[in-house]
Chain A
Amino acid sequence: MRPNSIGLIFALIAGAAWAGAQQPKQRPEKSPEEFTRLFEEKSAKPWIRKGAWLTDFDEACAQAKKQGKLVFAYFTRSYAY
């Protein structure tokens, strides 16, 4: 990908993010079923299994204590507008 293309994509993303944060508009609310479907879809992503990511915070902390390791926490979301 050429640097100009990367810059353009960044500009579009930044612009969209800014506009999304600023425009006084109402977002259509999704149903609980839709949020659940999106979560299940996200949870099934290959990288989660590949990296052996835990999804239960209490279990992650307990494992870290037991193994004397750090928790490496990644926060993401399954919903999007």
Chain B
Amino acid sequence: MEGRALSDDGIVAFNATVVPFVHITTRIPGKKRDGLLKEKGFTGFPTICFMNPQGDVLYKIAGTDRTLEGFQRAKRRVDEFLTLSRKAAAGDRDAAKRLLWLRFELGNITFADATALAASLDLNEAETRRCNDRLIELLPQLDMDEARKRLAGLALDAAQQQRAARFIADIRIRDTCRAARESARENGQRADLRPVFYRLFKDGVLPSDEPRADFLYWSAVMQAAEGAIDPEAFAAAWRKLAPFYAKNESYTELMRKRLSALRAKAAAEKR
């Protein structure tokens, strides 16, 4: 991104419409605000977002939108958010409803705020369903107990309940992964998540894969499956990962060969 979008000649004009701020995490001991990335709830590099002057994150720009045009599109959405916020604050109920949908879209609303806002809006049946669809996606903001409690308070149909269960699985995967990492850290090591994810997979705990397949989970399952001579798990993981490599024929072919070899090895072991 630094060599492309951020070096684009158009970035100068765009940056004049905002206050551009770059934060460089340095790991220099004692450096002021070196942990700002984490402080803002982010976990990886690069991250690019819009904030209000209070430093609240309004919108994190997706990886696919890290272009000058993407920045401009994102800014228009954030400007719309600010306009709707002002109107809603002035008592415009239609604006408040549009604001709710937009905040779901921008991802700058908590589960608690969304339910409170929705409750104040007198949503009709179709809107309530739409709202619940989006609330389900916010479940991973919560810890497991809170998520289950909140879930019980939602009137969901069967399809929504099934979808919610997949997001609950995401929380379980996240918590299991976190526990494994903490345990390894206590022992001065880095966690090997392959057996952790593989065990979850064998227990039927699968990620929601929304909005896209969980790359880390499925990569781990695939590698562990190879070690465990488990071609079915390998194949299941590769089905999820294949779209990431759709344009890479040689890697796809390599995976096919590895799967064939694994199937042959499993068959030989049975004999």
Q: Tell me whether B215 and A30 are in contact (CB under 8 A).
A: no
Residues of B contacting A23 with CB < 8 Å?
190, 192
Q: Tell me whether A77 and B24 are in contact (CB under 8 A).
A: yes
Residues of A contacting B191 with CB < 8 Å?
22, 24
Chain B residue nearest to A2 (CB atoms) is B247
| Measured CA separation A9–B20 after assembly (Å) | 30
Residues of A contacting B184 with CB < 8 Å?
24
**Chain A contact residues: over half helix, strand or loop, or mixed?**
helix
User: 1/0 contact trace for A17-47 toward B, CB 8 Å?
Assistant: 0100111111000101001101100110111
Residues of A contacting B219 with CB < 8 Å?
18, 22
B114: shortest Cβ distance to chain A, in Å? 22
Chain B interface size, as a band, is 35 or more
B48 contacts the other chain (Cβ, under 8 Å)? yes
B220 contacts the other chain (Cβ, under 8 Å)? yes
A27: shortest Cβ distance to chain B, in Å? 8
Q: Tell me whether B48 and A74 are in contact (CB under 8 A).
A: yes
Q: A24-B191, A43-B24, A72-B15 are in contact. List 13 more A-B contacts (CB 8 A).
A: A7-B248, A18-B220, A32-B28, A32-B29, A36-B26, A50-B12, A64-B19, A70-B58, A71-B51, A76-B23, A76-B24, A77-B26, A78-B25
Give A residues with C-beta under 8 Å from B. Answer: 3-4, 6-8, 10-11, 14, 18, 21-26, 30, 32, 35-36, 38-39, 42-43, 45-48, 50-55, 57, 60-65, 67, 69-79
24 contacts between A and B (CB under 8 A): A7-B248, A18-B219, A22-B223, A26-B189, A48-B22, A51-B11, A52-B15, A55-B22, A61-B54, A63-B19, A64-B51, A64-B52, A69-B19, A70-B51, A71-B19, A72-B48, A72-B71, A73-B40, A74-B21, A74-B47, A75-B25, A76-B23, A76-B45, A79-B26
